[in-house]
A and B are shown apart, each in its own frame.
Chain A
Amino acid sequence: MREFRMCSVAGILGYGYPEASLNAALERGIDMIGCDGGSTDPGPFYLGSGKPFVSLRALKRDLRLMLKAAIQAKVPMVLGTAGGAGGEPHLQLVAQMVRDIAKEEGLHFNMALIHSEQDKAKIARRVREGRTRPLGRAPALDEDTVNKAERIVGMCGPEPWMRALDEGAQIVIGGRSSDPAPFAATAIRAQMPPAQGWYAGKMLECGAAPAAPKGPDCLYLTVREDGVICEPMGNRACTPLSVANHSLHENASPIRHVEPGGVLDTSECRFEQVSPKATLVTGMRWEPADTYTVKLEAAEKVGHRAITICGTRDPLLIGQLDGFLDIVRDLVRSKSADLDIAPDQYRLTIHTYGRDGVMGAREPVKGTNGAHELGFLVDVVAKDPDTAAAVIALSRTSMLHADFPGRLCREGNMAIPFSPSDLTAGEVYRFSMQHVVLPDDPYEMFPIEHERI
């Protein structure tokens, strides 16, 4: 039976993996090596700012080992959503890292870059043409949202990855991509059925997450025409349950996975343990979509953040917390006005840990529930850093010194752990798009650039 052997080194490049596991996969023999480079999970800052969410040191370590492995094994290497968010700065950061490692290690190869950052004018044109669609509960996309975005990326499907490899690249580094797409591309290109290729991608995009115990490790997959065998490296096992349950991970549905060109249906999957470490999955189906769609992600700049952290041990304050916080907000408003800062120029949020700091308005336990102490994270977001600094200083002194009925602790309401007490937290972004584009074809939004290294 024909087989295609795939290795994913880690859940996200820069999260780490054991070198011994990579070597074990190499000894077994591989036909490709890959890694997913990113996620939206760490939030909108990284897409907006163009920065990675792992350290450069960790990124380079993980990249060096897999690059050397790919060259040694003479197999394709794919790295999707490079640099965490897959925008142009992220892609260029990782591309330069590849060049640096190649120079340090004396490696030579053909590299392709797949660009995923989108030109705002082109997306605005698609809006005017009526070729964007909202997802979920989002309203229709408008040009104003497009223009206000700091950065827009499209989620690349497998087709540009296949083309980059067909055109002779061995190492392909891509911007934002559907997480399974780079893996699926290599399997489909090796004449494996799309269902098996996409299923393999769904497993590989998270490293050894489909195994038990979970942990940062390599996943080794054997794709066959009838199914996929999942096996982790290291001291773990893929069991029918651990593999089945990976379909729950970060998906809206465990049985329907929407991808750029169709839907992977896992509702009829069967799971069979074929060795102490490995599970065979069969029965996956691929339903091609009538219309090819590319999902957009965008980050819009909201302002600048400053925070302060404090706590109270005063039962009289805790007993009238809502009233106290209202007093603080009023004080901040009036003192800000004295500095010519209008209420619409800042947003003050006070997170109360010990009450509803984790779940906010969805917290079912109401009130302070007999807490003997409470922690506060005071968050100010304003249009510029100076305004944020001014308002957080007023917020801190108001938390510390605001008078309240029956107050005994007249030297200060709060324990403040740090000096300086106010911290600046930089630029703040928000995710601003939940839409798809209907492109002319799967390639037009994702230009491929080749270079010899």
Chain B
Amino acid sequence: MVKIRDLAKVCKSKNAGPFDLTIDVVFEDDATFDRVAATGVLSPALFARLYGVEERDVLFTPYPAGRAFKATLPRLIVAGDIGDTDVYGAQQHAPLLDVDIPV
């Protein structure tokens, strides 16, 4: 088991427009990307669980050209609305860092 924080080269979040949050996990090389992909841990179900949304609301895209996995899901609160904590959505990645990958 290796945590994403020890395996990934990039783990980040950002708005994809004011209504959606997009989260990217990027790996150093093709081999690592392939090994992680083969475990199936990074999946719509994982993001749905970590972010408290329905699985059908997660747009999950493995992106081999970028050695990356991308998940886009609804923001908790629309950017800048009352109660929002993160207008840019730039600090919503942390729950992923401690996810164990069985590689």
Contacts and interface: CB of A to CB of B under 8 A. Distances in A.
Contacts of A347: 82-83
Interface of B: 10, 14-20, 22, 24, 26, 50-52, 57, 59, 61, 63, 65-68, 70, 72, 74, 76-83, 85-88, 91-92, 94-95
B9 to A, nearest CB: 9
Contacts, number: 123
A360 B83 contact: yes
Contact of A429 (B22, B74, B80, B94): B80
B57 A137 contact: yes
B74 A137 contact: yes
B63, B78, B80, B91: most-surrounded residue (chain A CB, <10 A) = B80
A359 interface: yes
B32 to A, nearest CB: 12
Interface in A223-277: 241, 244-245, 247-255, 269-271
Contact of B14 (A44, A249, A434): A249
A43 B72 contact: no
A253 B70 contact: yes
A255 B70 CA distance: 10
Given A250-B14, A255-B63, A359-B92, A42 B87 contact: yes
A216 interface: no
Contacts of B24: 245, 248
Contact of A241 (B57, B67, B76): B67
A428 B63 contact: no
A150 to B, nearest CB: 13
Describe A's contact surface by its main secondary structure: loop
B85 A254 contact: no
A242 B50 CA distance: 28
Contacts of A381: 82
Given A358-B86, A359-B94, A361-B52, A431 B78 contact: yes
Given A250-B16, A362-B52, A351 B63 contact: no
B88 to A, nearest CB: 5
A44 B80 contact: yes
A228 to B, nearest CB: 15
Contacts of A371: none
A358 B95 CA distance: 12
A244 B50 CA distance: 27
A349 B19 CA distance: 20
16 contacts: A40-B17, A44-B81, A45-B80, A137-B19, A137-B57, A241-B66, A244-B65, A251-B16, A252-B22, A252-B59, A252-B72, A347-B82, A360-B83, A362-B52, A430-B81, A430-B82
Contacts of A244: 63, 65-66
